[in-house]
Structure 1
Amino acid sequence: MGYRIGYARVSTEDQDASAQLDALTAAGCDKIFTDHASGKLASRPGLDEALDKLRPGDTLVITKLDRLGRSTKNLIELAEKLRADGVDLMVLHQHIDTSTPAGRMFFTVISAFAEFERDMIAERTREGLAAARARGRKGGRRPKLTGAKLQHARELYDAKTHTVEEIAQLLGVSRTTVYRALSERETAPRESRT
């Protein structure tokens, strides 16, 4: 029986991979590799290392399909490469094990649904942003400088009695926030300026 090589991926440095690592350890992985990167990115050094360690008879273990491939096509290509190399794929949460015929068939079906779900989420997000823009709202965080604080920042800046750093400290915001507020005024239409 070959080795079990685990692979975990989280999308950002802020996300915690411990749940994946615990599941992979519980599944008996001999070695686990991790990436902190978007699934869309081509460069995933942890995955490259994991694939390099695999030998015929080994099994690549992941927690969910979306941790492995960038698209259905990519997932299927990777599964085919693993099969050609004599390596099995085990997906813990979807109960897929390509060492069985049922596992190979189930993998193909589930990977298609996984991509469909990602596409639907992306489409709903785009539609929501478009609807918000149509109502005059922009996405993203609310501005930190509004109303009286924004007016005060502009007055201090225009009076040239304070540096941007001092204005930021007075208002409890970052210099970037002050610069952004001031640059928005500079790019605003002339008739809207007071």
Structure 2
Amino acid sequence: MSSWSDELVVTRLDRLGRDTRDVLNLIHECEQRGAFVTVLDPLASTRGEMGHIVLTVLGMVAQMERRFIKERQREGIEQAKPDGAYKGGKARLDHKRIAEMHSGGAGTAEIARAVGCSRMQVYGVIRLSA
């Protein structure tokens, strides 16, 4: 007789959460609901006796790796700036249009719809331009 159980499958651990705490919270929630968590690369699961511990360690390693990558990226950007090779990211929102609409009396919801963003983003742009 086979028994079925729910299982959350992710390709890599970094797809499961931003940091170790997120990963552990999600694993805990799955366990509370009677589900298993399986990571495909590297293969690990909460099914076995050591599964929870293995995923915890892998989560900590993944978090450290992300920190190292961000640090190297920051160092590379700082080295590229003086040479003019790094100009920064592309602006995703039209700050000028948001400021003009706001000064013209438009509400945040109206601006958000017109620009295609959230009200929170509009608030952030308004706060920066003030």
**Same fold, TM exceeding 0.5?**
yes
Residue 83 of structure 2 corresponds to 136
Unaligned runs of 5+ in 2: 89-130
Q: Please give the root-mean-square deviation of Cα atoms over the aligned residues, in Å.
A: 1.7
Instruction: Provide, for residues 115-159 of structure 1, a one-character-per-residue CA deviation record: whole Å limited to 9, x for no partner.
Output: 1111110110001111222x3324159xxxxxxxxxxxxxxxxxx
Residue 93 of structure 1 corresponds to 41
Q: Distance in 1 between matches of 2:53 and 2:18?
A: 20
Residue 36 of structure 1 corresponds to none
Instruction: Provide, for residues 43-66 of structure 1, a one-character-per-residue CA deviation record: whole Å limited to 9, x for no partner.
Output: xxxxxxxxxxxxxx3111111111
**When the two structures are aligned, how many residues end up with a matched partner?**
86
Give aligned-pair identity as a percent: 34
The AA in structure 1 aligned to 2:30 is L
Q: Distance in 2 between matches of 1:112 and 1:106?
A: 10
Unaligned runs of 5+ in 1: 3-56, 142-194
Q: 1:67: how far off?
A: 1.5
Helix, strand or coil: the match of 1:101? coil
Q: Distance in 1 between matches of 2:61 and 2:67?
A: 10
Instruction: Provide, for residues 149-189 of structure 1, a one-character-per-residue CA deviation record: whole Å limited to 9, x for no partner.
Output: xxxxxxxxxxxxxxxxxxxxxxxxxxxxxxxxxxxxxxxxx
Task: State yes or no: 1:102 paired with 2:50.
Answer: yes
After TM superposition, the structure 1 = structure 2 runs for residues 109-128 of structure 1, keeping only pairs within 5 Å, are 109-128=57-76
Task: State yes or no: 1:69 paired with 2:17.
Answer: yes
Residue 18 of structure 1 corresponds to none
Q: Distance in 2 between matches of 1:104 and 1:72?
A: 12
Q: Distance in 2 between matches of 1:100 and 1:68?
A: 19
TM-score by length of 1: 0.41
Q: Distance in 2 between matches of 1:140 and 1:78?
A: 38
Q: Which has the higher contact order (CA 8 A, sep 6+)?
A: 2
Deviating above 3 A after TM superposition, structure 1's stretches of 4 or more consecutive aligned residues are: none
The AA in structure 2 aligned to 1:115 is Q
